Structure 1
Amino acid sequence: MKKNNNSNHLFPISTCVCLSFLLHLISAADTYFPTDKILLNCGAAQESTDSDGRKWTGDVGSKFAPAAANTLTSTAATQDPSVPDVPYMTARVFRSEFTYSFPVASGRKFVRLYFYPASYNGLNASNALFSVTSGPYTLLKNFSVSQTAEALTYAFIIKEYSLNVENEILNVTFRPSSNASNSYAFINGIEVVSMPDIYSSANGALLVGLSSQFTIDNSTTLENVFRINVGGNYISPTGDPGLFRSWYDDSPYIFGAAFGVTDVANMTIQYPTDLPKYTAPVDVYATARTMGPDASINQNYNLTWIFSVDPGFYHLVRLHFCEIQSVINKVNQRVFQIFINNQTAEAAFDVVAWTQGNGIPTYKDYVVLPQKGNAQQDLWLALHPAIASKPNYYDAILNGVEIFKVSDSNGNLAGPNPIPPPKQAVVDPSLARSHTSGNSKNQAAVIAGGVIGGVVVSCLLCFFVFVVSRRRRQRKDSSASDGWLPLSLYGNSHSAGSAKTNTTGSYASSLPSNLCRHFSFAEIKAATNNFDEALLLGVGGFGKVYKGEIDGGSIKVAIKRGNPLSEQGVHEFQTEIEMLSKLRHRHLVSLIGYCEENCEMILVYDYMAHGTLREHLYKTQKPPLPWRQRLEICIGAARGLHYLHTGAKHTIIHRDVKTTNILLDEKWVAKVSDFGLSKTGPTLDHTHVSTVVKGSFGYLDPEYFRRQQLTEKSDVYSFGVVLFEILCARPALNPTLAKEQVSLAEWALHCQKKGILDQIIDPYLKGKIAPECFKKFAEIAEKCVADQGIDRPAMGDVLWHLEFALQLQESAEENGGLATCDMDAYETPFNGKCGGKKDPDASSGFEGNVTDSRSNGICHLPFRFSETNLLCLLLINSQGAAN
């Protein structure tokens, strides 16, 4: 009897164990665990860890690379700041054929090849010309890494392939080209990862433009050419566990100024049983790009992306969809057309009808016919509302895109090397018109002016601080006010807001060692010729900025050295390093490294040949920038800020956007700089970050000042001031003017509303701005400086309108519409045509005895200066330590 009782108890226990095991198997079915995962750091002797925390094995002495006398290992002679150390700083170089052999399980694999076009062992990077094969498949032929990187404007190249392995050995062979006598091959890293067969289709994929299907089977090899997280941020390999794919932001591929809007899911994403979670990460399906809320606009444009692809190959296009807006949960609410290369892929696609609900991911595969030609061709992807279906919402949605090149019948995937654009001579505006004095005199004048201006501002600040401190003591307030002047590269700055920080001691223990390059103090001294004053570029509150050279003079840099007496402290120093070392973007200044030896705080940046934007606007002997170039600079800076707000892992608020923090490289590409005040933005659960007010006089968001609540709209306000500064060529704040004229933002807003903004613009621009362009530019600048953040556009919308303004300008120039351009006929949205109407007290500010029309940029127009901005001048809240 006792035995029977024990048996009865054992049955439910064993049943529970089995059920638990089955549930574990069901859950595990959605998580892919690769049987093979190889990360080979070529040319390295030891194990190393990349920026994503993945461990790479060195190939020196490894079982994958046979010992051979025809190869050598090397370290890159130079390092672009945007290039990670692992796996790009070491390479294996081949003068003759060399094969890596990887013992793997049979089945499909991702094979990723990593290349960095640098000089290795003194070899010329342009002589690296080679082919790569794997079994019967030709992956690359006469491939030039340097030419490809130049054409695509990439610092490094990653080639990803999906191929089938049958005999449990994966061979990857490198063969220098026989077309050139000095050719060689090299590789920086090889990654091999098992993958499920997620891109094959038993029923085939639709051939766009035809009614037939295209089959992708085990004999087909694919090369991934684009993997895009539409409407979302970059997803690193670790954000796609198991398959380790990288998903990129879609904004660089959107055609024209019609960006649509980005959406984030307000619901839980539920994968259907027939769609494994490894198909695409949840972050792909949880974000999307739609056309926008205006049905009338949506019916008159296509939301379009353009991708450059190799001619002569079929291409597999996979589109990922998930309806993530809760209001759209029924059939025929959002129906749209899909066009690929001007061919109809779907005449009426309804995501809800396809998935039977919202919040449910899916995808559709299409194959595009080969395009003719020898150079790269454009693959167009466009969405448009299906008007004939009469949906509730005339809109379209897309969450992700993957594009693969399909191997031809011979197993070939090698296309031609892309052709770099013709190198145009960079016009130096300094050559456009003669100087009134020599360079040395100009530099002396600039330095003298900076010193005098600094003394005046310091006196004013001392007076203001004295008054404020006295009042605070009378109120028995125990908090203290500490002013500070953050340094912008190459330029002075007039900012306020940080509490004083102790700067003694060493800071190495507080800085992650793997963020960026660490320089010794001896290297810094050598780079600046022992801080030679002849190399001085600028002076600010943090210290001095010197021009320097590193790596044997091969790289020009700007070196910012902290002043031990400066009231800027370790917090700003660390913030700059931690922010910039994690951010890589064409329109953000690149931080190369830092030095903190001997209690020094030194930052090393890319050298910006044309200095700050402000240097080219006013109080300068430099020639004026053409309007079109100013627009391009605005667009570049907007792209950089848009990336900070939406493209990084977390929202980043710059907090100090101004013309001295927009730098110009040798090609006049705008780059946002100075991240010492930057702050991580609010999470999805919060609308703002509560923090001590910091920023620069004249650019500070009044709502942020009043409420001490920081959002990305604070950057939008500051950028609006920058737009007016670029248009009017005068300082954002000029205390020497009558009080009603001090604030450029408020005064320009007043002029815009009265329809006389054209009267205070830079005289150089008179007659050179297309009226429609001027109208669009003025409208977006006005919206940026709205008093309340909720009324300001997002930075993506600002970018959209600026690009549209540039198109209007280009169109007018092409049509010759500027020859008779009359700015007095500019029609404002407030008063109609200005009609030459003059404010009785209006003056451009360029009359009198001013010899250089750009020497002061002052306007003399009456307007009441608000108490808020006056308080910004007098007082910055300094509660607590630096935030």
Structure 2
Amino acid sequence: MNANTRKLLFLSCVSILFNALYVSSSNTTNSLLLNCGSENEGTDADGRKWEPDAKYLGGNHPQARAQIQDSSILSDVPLMDARIFRSEATYKLPIKPQTRYFLRLYFYPSDYAGLNVSNSYFSVVAAGVTLLNNFSAPITAQALTFAYLVKEYSLAPIDSDTLSITFKPSDKAVDAFAFVNGIEVVPIPGDLFGSGIMTGFSDITIDAKDSNLETMYRLNVAGQYIAPNKDSGGLARNWYNDAPYLYGAAVGVNRMANKTVQINYADLPEYVAPVDVYQTARGMGPDSAMNLKFNLTWMFLVDANFTYIVRLHFCEFELTRSNQKGFNIYINNQTAQGGMEAADIIAWTGQIGKPTYKDYMISVNDRQGDDHIQVDLNPSTLYKPEYYDATLNGLEIFKMSDQKNNLAGPNPELSAMLTKALAEEKQKTFQSSGVGIEGAAGGAAGFCVVAAICIAVYQRKRRDPNVESHTSSWLPVYTNSYTSTSKSTISGKSTTSSHLSTLAQGLCRHFTLPEMKKATKNFDESNVIGVGGFGKVYKGIIDQNVKVAIKKSNPQSEQGVNEFQTEIEMLSKLRHKHLVSLIGFCEENEEMCLVYDYMALGTLREHLYNTKRPKLSWKRRLEICIGAARGLHYLHTGAQYTIIHRDVKTTNILLNENWVAKVSDFGLSKTGPNLDKGHVSTVVKGSFGYLDPEYFKRQQLTEKSDVYSFGVVLFEVLCARPALNPNLSKEQVSLADWALHCQRKGILEDIIDPHIKGKINPECLKKFAETAQKCLEEAGTERPSMGDVLWSLEFALQLQENSEGSRHSTQVESSDISGEILGNNHETNLDSDETGEIFSQIVNPKGR
């Protein structure tokens, strides 16, 4: 054999080996993504390629194009095209036998030409498993307040190289049809599911290896949203922040692994969860004595009469030895881990930085009206660990198929009370709008979203009669749940607004102009409680006795119109205890109004200086700062994309009658998919004195710009003086510059508000001042995250309370795992009508 022949043979062998490796790799990592109803290939917002579905589908089934694209849909693929089924139809998809797969079905229940999407009732069966039965995507989306749905299933291995997925219109509905916008099939390498312990029975385990599952929730606890293209193992999962599911006032603290700690999976497959999940955790705090007095609690709504796998992810990145921290885990008030077998992460893993997870099973039945899963963590005292604490890094909940191989749950239903209210609202909209049936339907659909939220509150009140009648502290409307990246009404064409998306209109109550005039006594000047670049803010009364703040946009102000749109698009997607709640809007006859919860105690600034009101105590100031920090932290981490407020200041931190702080005024807020690249280039906007100098110089906006502004707020709270005071000497005009100078010189106490001077614990003051100083670092990369700021402020409050011999007013007794809020029980010695008729930045009548 000559040299050339040997070289040719060698290259042939290498080629064969390479191809074999490629085929092997592709069999385990390649996914099948179908853009249903489209004739062309397309790329989604995460850069993944989708192919047409026709070659996998038998028969002739029409395609349709959505007539409206919701603002939450960042790419046409895979949601804007749909495959329509008037009769039973089956996809035949190639798979590898004996392999577990994720199956994801995408539904966008919008308007399609010639179709009434409200008639779409259908079932879906895959590999003999009933995934959906008499399913209505419009009803489900409205009830959950999502623009679109992504239903994810994990199908057990089958002995076939073909996966059959059958869509069948319902026989029970007139003109019923089925539709689907996208189908995704992703092979799961290895075995992601094994056996789990039945909660309440430590000696009973259930094997889930061959079970069919539906993903209900997947959370990166205390961490940011993780997009499909950043998931591990090529599984393309969405991981969402856990903040909306925290139950009660005690939310713990966010922790992040030190950069020196490397996450070492060892024998744990990396596809179990991405590194980012294990680098953040929610803990209870540094004060062991205080931690014994409350639980960390999460609450999730689920379908009754199913068994669920609750998977908890753990990774210890602070402690190094076993028995330094042990804690109990309860699921629906039953012990999952505790007593002699309390959770000890280092004992489980043997080393710092090594992840692990534990699976627990829980059966949820409707014998007592159960429709939720509650997860509680609290410190174990049995072995007297070094620290009384508990932590969690990630959480997933999977529904297991029943004995009939069924995973389908019922469509959401309105109670009789809410059905009646919906009918009344529909009739009211019809009569007042004069736009015919379509207008009434649009208004009713918007109300339906609110009604669905009320159902959740009603169900909770049924279990706990002492709970307050609002949603903000229990299960807030969330931009990112496991099924969607946003929420919207599915009302179709809008007849109420030319400026607002269907998303905004669906999530807000629509008021008529006569209602706004009645609420404000025809916008009487005596009801004006604020003026800004957008226009005036009025105090108003709706629904006979409900106080509200009504922001009326000035039609002549382009700034006002733009901020009106931004504010409603932002706040329509967000609900949080520490964000001002948007009730509704009015856009009629070129008049635009926004309706908010009335904040009886006005702005934070009103209680600091240039006011006749009693001065706030130091402890109350700390509590207000912590509340505002929680709201900002939610904006930065709780949504799919970081939301930057861009105008953080003391006049945009409002106080309700119980002194609960709420961040307001989102007219300048920015968000976008490119923030993970570091910044957004944008025209500089904000308020001088609070403006991030790095942002001002480079016009590159990051969440650290909010951190800078909040640092100014912290010094404003401490010193009780404006951020800018031109009447002072040159070096003292800017509070940020002057406070940093005094801090570095060690004379900060000289500029502290005399009302609180001498009443602050020295260690608390040191921690607070250090936190504010770090927020004002010149370079944004040197500033802490809002999560770190929040942790530092909570620690400062604990130092203050320890010195006073008191306990935190917002903590919950460890025996009280109902999540009852105790943080709003401060006595208020101010009459709300006389002292707090302020809504937004009204101390400065010129606005921004």
Q: Do Structure 1 and Structure 2 share a fold, with TM-score over 0.5?
A: yes
CA drift at 1:287:
1.9
Aligned partner of 2:380 in structure 1 is 386
Does residue 89 in structure 1 map to residue 80 in structure 2? yes
Is 1:297 aligned to 2:304, yes or no? no
Change (3 A) 1:165 1:638: farther
Letter in 2 for 1:297: M
- Residue 753 of structure 2 aligns with an amino acid whose one-letter code is H
Compute the displacement of 1:613 (Å). 9.8
Residue identity in the other structure for 2:213: L
The one-letter code sitting in structure 2 at the alignment partner of 1:224 is: T
Give me the whole-angstrom Cα distance separating, in 1, the residues matched to 2:383 and 2:60.
Answer: 66
Aligned to 2:555: 537
Residues 324, 101 of structure 1: alpha-carbon distance in 2 compared, 3 angstrom cutoff:
same
Q: Distance in 1 between matches of 2:402 and 2:50?
A: 33
The 1:253/1:584 distance shift into structure 2, 3 A limit, reads same
Contact 1:352 1:358 in 2 (8 A): yes
Could you tell me how far apart the structure 1 residues matched to 2:70 and 2:519 are?
Answer: 37
What is the distance in 1 between the residues matched to 2:664 and 2:115?
A: 33
Contact 1:316 1:367 in 2 (8 A): yes
Instruction: Specify whether residues 64 and 388 from structure 1 end up closer, same or farther in structure 2 by C-alpha distance, changes over 3 A only.
Output: same
Q: Does structure 1 residue 185 correspond to structure 2 residue 217?
A: no
Q: Indicate the residue corresponding to 1:401 in structure 2.
A: 395
- In structure 2, how many angstroms separate the alpha carbons of the residues matched to 1:278 and 1:737? 59
Counterpart in the other structure of 1:421: 453
Cα distance, 1:311 vs structure 2: 1.0
The farther-off stretch of 45-54 and 180-189 is 180-189
Match of 1:504 in 2: none
- Structure-to-structure mapping, 1:229-308, within 5 angstroms: 229-240=220-231, 241-256=233-248, 257-308=250-301
8 Å contact kept, 1:174–1:185: yes
For 2:101, the equivalent position in structure 1 comes to 109
Q: Matches of 1:733 and 1:128 in 2, distance apart?
A: 59
Query: What are the within-5 Å matches in structure 2 for residues 115-264 of structure 1?
Result: 115-121=107-113, 123-163=115-155, 164-201=157-194, 204-210=195-201, 211-218=203-210, 220-240=211-231, 241-256=233-248, 257-264=250-257
Q: Which amino acid aligns with 1:353?
A: A
Tell me how far 1:53 sits from its aligned partner.
0.5
RMSD of aligned residue pairs (Cα, Å):
6.3
Letter in 2 for 1:714: Y
Paired residue secondary structure (2:56):
coil
2-structure distance, mates of 1:97, 1:317: 35
What is the rounded CA distance, in whole Å, between the counterparts of 1:167 and 1:249 in structure 2?
Answer: 37
Structure 1 residues 427-473: Cα deviation after superposition (integer angstroms, max 9, x where no partner): 98997997887449899x999x88xxxxxxxxxxxxxxxxxxxxxxx
Offset of residue 361 of structure 1: 1.5
CA shift for structure 1 position 233 = 1.3
- Write the distance in 1 (CA, Å) between the matches of 2:722 and 2:227: 41
Q: What does 1:62-101 align with in structure 2 at a 5 Å threshold?
A: 62-69=54-61, 71-81=62-72, 84-101=75-92
Task: Kindly name which structure, 1 or 2, has the bigger radius of gyration based on alpha carbons.
Answer: 1
Query: Does the aligned pair in 2 maintain the 1:231–1:289 contact within 8 Å?
Result: yes
Separation in structure 2 between the aligned mates of residue 738 and residue 612 of structure 1, nearest angstrom: 40
Name the CA shift for 1:436/1:386 in 2 (closer, same or farther; >3 Å): closer
TM-score w.r.t. structure 2 length? 0.61
Q: CA deviation at 1:208?
A: 1.2
- Within a 5 Å distance, the mapping from 1:460-539 to structure 2 comes to 537=555, 539=557
C-alpha distance in 1 between matches for 2:301 and 2:191: 24
Q: CA deviation at 1:214?
A: 0.7
Query: What SS class does the counterpart of residue 167 from structure 1 fall into?
Result: coil
Q: Tell whether the 8 Å contact from 2:45 to 2:74 is kept in structure 1 after alignment.
A: no
Distance 2:73 2:694 in 1: 36
Q: Secondary structure at the match of 2:389?
A: coil
Deviation at 1:143, TM superposition (A): 1.7
Aligned in 2, Cα 1:242/1:609: closer, same or farther, shift over 3 Å?
same
Deviations 1:532-560 (A, max 9, x none): xx995363xxx54548xxxxxxxxx9579
Please tell me the residue identity of whatever aligns with 2:555: L
Are the aligned partners of 1:700 and 1:718 in contact in 2 as well (CA < 8 Å)? no
Give the AA of the match of 1:822.
Answer: N
Pairing 1:346-357 to 2, within 5 Å after superposition: 346=337, 347-357=341-351
The aligned length equals 647
**Unmatched runs of 5 consecutive residues or more in structure 1:** 451-487, 493-533, 548-556, 561-575, 590-606, 619-631, 757-778, 825-843, 860-872, 874-883
Structure 2, unmatched stretches of 5+, are 414-451, 456-469, 471-507, 538-551, 581-591, 604-622, 655-661, 740-749, 760-764, 777-783, 798-807, 813-819
Quick check: 1:309 aligned with 2:302? Answer: yes
Instruction: State the distance in 1 between where 2:329 and 2:178 align.
Output: 42
> Residues 613-762 of structure 1 correspond to what in structure 2 (within 5 A)?
641-647=632-638, 654-658=645-649, 672-675=666-669, 695-697=686-688, 699-700=690-691, 713-717=707-711, 750=753, 753=756
Going from structure 1 to structure 2, the CA distance change for 1:430 and 1:648 (only over 3 Å counts) comes to: same
Q: Is the 8 A contact 2:652 2:663 kept in 1?
A: no
Q: How far, CA to CA, are the matches of 1:233 and 1:812 in structure 2?
A: 28
Counterpart Cα distance in 2 of 1:186 and 1:221? 23
- CA positional deviation for 1:711: 6.1
Query: What is the Cα deviation at residue 231 of structure 1?
Result: 2.2
CA deviation profile, 1:764-809 (whole Å, cap 9, x unmatched): xxxxxxxxxxxxxxx9xx98995664899856459989xx98999x
Change (3 A) 1:364 1:535: closer
Are the aligned partners of 2:241 and 2:637 in contact in 1 as well (CA < 8 Å)? no
The 1:858–1:46 alpha-carbon spacing in structure 2 relative to 1, beyond 3 Å, is closer
Change (3 A) 1:352 1:183: same
1:609 to 591, 594, 597: 594
State the Cα distance separating 1:139 from its structure 2 match.
0.4
- For residue 162 of structure 1, give the secondary structure of its aligned residue in structure 2: strand
Residues 78 and 440 of structure 1: CA distance in aligned 2, closer, same or farther (over 3 Å):
farther
Instruction: Say if 1:224 and 1:405, in contact at 8 Å, map to a contact too.
Output: yes
Counterparts of 2:792 and 2:57, CA distance in 1: 52
TM-score for the superposition, normalised by structure 1 = 0.59
- Per the alignment, residue 822 of structure 1 pairs with 829
Is the CA contact (8 Å cut-off) linking 2:199 and 2:334 kept in structure 1?
A: yes
Cα gap change, 1:299/1:168 in structure 2, threshold over 3 Å: closer, same or farther? same
Q: 1:751 to 1:64 in 2, by over 3 A?
A: farther
Tell me if the contact between 2:771 and 2:792 (Cα under 8 Å) persists in the aligned partners. no
Q: Distance in 1 between matches of 2:627 and 2:89?
A: 43
